[in-house]
Amino acid sequence: MRGATVGGSGAINGGYFCRGLPSDFDRASIPGWAWSDVLEHFRAIETDLDFETPVHGRSGPIPVRRTHEMTGITESFMAAAEDAGFAWIADLNDVGPEMPSGVGAVPLNIVNGVRTSSAVGYLMPALGRPNLTLLARTRAVRLRFSATTAVGVDAIGPGGPVSLSADRIVLCAGAIQSAHLLMLSGVGEEEVLRSAGVKVLMALPVGMGCSDHPEWVMPTNWAVAVDRPVLEVLLSTHDGIEIRPYTGGFVAMTGDGTAGHRDWPHIGVALMQPRARGRITLVSSDPQIPVRIEHRYDSEPADVAALRQGSALAHELCGAATRIGPAVWATSQHLCGSAPMGTDDDPRAVVDPRCRVRGIENLWVIDGSVLPSITSRGPHATIVMLGHRAPEFVQ
């Protein structure tokens, strides 16, 4: 499921707005992207309505609040977690450098039933600027180059083809679509591009090491909680498991996107630092043909073992009163790292520490594509932070 709307997938997701952990940034060792570099930008994007501690912002465009009056489902889960020895984590966005073990309320960018996406917080207030034009219902299909300098974008809108020219081009179409655009335009793995009939402009490992949070989803006999956040609390463990007692599904957020299926309650067990890496590959030079996405979740036995242990813990916490169905492989829909950031000596890097596509002039990627590895929390807040910080590089 992806958001084909202004604001992208962040406009339709579960509202989960947890920051990446300090260790996610410090471990990557990319100049300018240590935790000490990015904290001020995490603060700048938010107005935290629950905490006034130094790590939180008070004047950012995105309000953040946690649920205080929980559903019965959530309360039962919290009580079981406490009985099992898991501590309460007051603020999941201020937990120290590593993944904590405990249960806490999920920071949400949904307040009083109203979501503030990056589009609402940043784009809409700027629409009156004379140097900004929003082309709705328009899809970029290919970049144009003069030698190795990006000079424009070809797109298709309601009235047909559109040709746009610019001296600076920024891709922020998301980890899947930005990679797709690069490959359609001749930037990617040589063998992949040639097999799809695309002339190679710049050989870079686009899509070759993406990652996601694999999730085992198990149906339950809980009652669906309508008009509530889909996730009020989460439980994390030191070994990187996140257990999510969903109050419902995403039907209310996707309209007809579930083909008329009813909402259904479930519990999710996600692995937040997986070893497995996937691939996004181009299969056709036709922009209307989707890329091939290979998650390869089960390619690392250690990942499968960790999810199995997490599933056993979820069963234990839910107890005999809850009927839990068999687990199925699912995606947390957090795919990232399809055009990872890195230094010049990193063979995996597609963009440099200033988000510039290597070997190409006037082209940047600023979205979840550039994360060098997946964060230990859902990446939404981290991607908004990235969008706040990176514009200083586009010069």
Instruction: Identify which of 198, 162, 168, 159 has the alpha carbon closest to the alpha carbon of residue 180.
Output: 198
Residues of the chain above pLDDT 90, percent: 88
For residue 323, what is the enclosing H or E element? none
Q: Residue 227's closest CA among 247, 204, 206, 202?
A: 247
Q: Is 388 labeled as catalytic in the residue annotation?
A: no
Q: Which amino acid is located at 393 in the chain?
A: F
Per-residue pLDDT tens over the stretch 25-77: 999 999 999 999 999 999 999 999 999 999 999 999 999 999 999 999 999 99
Q: What is the pLDDT of residue 287?
A: 98
- Rounded to whole angstroms, the Cα distance separating 67 from 149 reads 48
Under DSSP, the state recorded for 356 is B
What would the pLDDT profile of 307-345 be if each residue is shown by its tens digit? Answer: 999 999 999 999 877 899 999 999 999 999 999 999 999
- Cβ contacts of 333 within 8 Å, gap of 6 or more: 1, 2, 9, 13, 212
Residue in 392, 342, 382 with CA at minimum distance from that of residue 24: 382
Positive or negative, the CA dihedral 136, 138, 139, 141 is negative
Q: How far is CA 344 from the centre of its chain?
A: 25
**Domains of the chain and CATH, by start:** 8-131+140-393 (3.50.50.60)
Q: Round to whole Å and give the CA distance between 248 and 264.
A: 6
Distance CA 59, CA 52 (A): 11
**Catalytic hit among 180, 334, 380, 388:** 334
pLDDT (tens digit per residue) in 358-386: 999 999 999 999 999 999 999 999 999 99
Distance CA 387, CA 366 (A): 6
Cβ distance 143 to 202 under 8 Å? Answer: no
Q: Is residue 3 pLDDT above 70, yes or no? A: yes
Residue 98 pLDDT > 70: yes
DSSP 8-state secondary structure symbol assigned to residue 119: I
Q: What are the tens digits of pLDDT across the range 221-249? A: 988 888 889 999 999 999 999 999 999 76
